[in-house]
Amino acid sequence: MPDLRVGLNELEAVTAVARRASFRQAAIDLSVSTTALSNTIAKVESNLETRLFNRTTRSVSLTEAGRMYMEQVGPALQDVRAALEAVRSHNVGPSGILRINAFASAARTTLMPLILEFSRRYPKVHIDLVTEGRLVDIVADGFDLGVRSANLVPSDMIVVPLGRPQRYAIVGSPAYFEVHGQPRTPADLLTHQCLRIRLPNGAIYPWHLERDGEVIRLDVNGQFTLDEPGLAKAVVGAAVALGFFMEQDVQVEIENGEFERVLEDWTPARDNLCLYYPNRRNPSAALKAFTDLARANLVGNESLRAPA
> What does the pLDDT average to over 99-128?
89
Does residue 198 register a pLDDT over 60?
Answer: yes
Do the Cβ atoms of 63 and 71 come closer than 8 Å? Answer: no
pLDDT in tens, 145-192: 999 888 788 888 999 988 667 789 999 999 999 999 999 999 999 999
Name the packing angle between helices 285-297 and 112-121 (round to 10°). Answer: 120
The phi, psi pair for 126, rounded to 5°, reads -95, 125
Q: Look at 103-112, 181-190, 205-214 and tell me which has the smallest mean pLDDT.
A: 103-112
222-252 exposure pattern, b = at least 16 Cβ within 10 A, e = fewer: bebebeebeebbebbbebbbbbbbbbbbbbe
Residue 153's domain comprises 93-164+271-304
Instruction: Determine what percent of the chain is predicted with pLDDT higher than 70.
Output: 89
Where does a domain end: 31, 53, 68?
Answer: 68
Do the Cβ atoms of 51 and 45 come closer than 8 Å? Answer: yes
Asked if residue 42 is part of any domain, the answer here is yes
Query: Model pTM greater than 0.85?
Result: no
Asked if residue 52 is part of any domain, the answer here is yes
* Torsion, CA 105, CA 110, CA 115, CA 118, rounded to 10: 180
Residues facing residue 172 across a β-bridge: 260
Asked if residue 219 is part of any domain, the answer here is yes
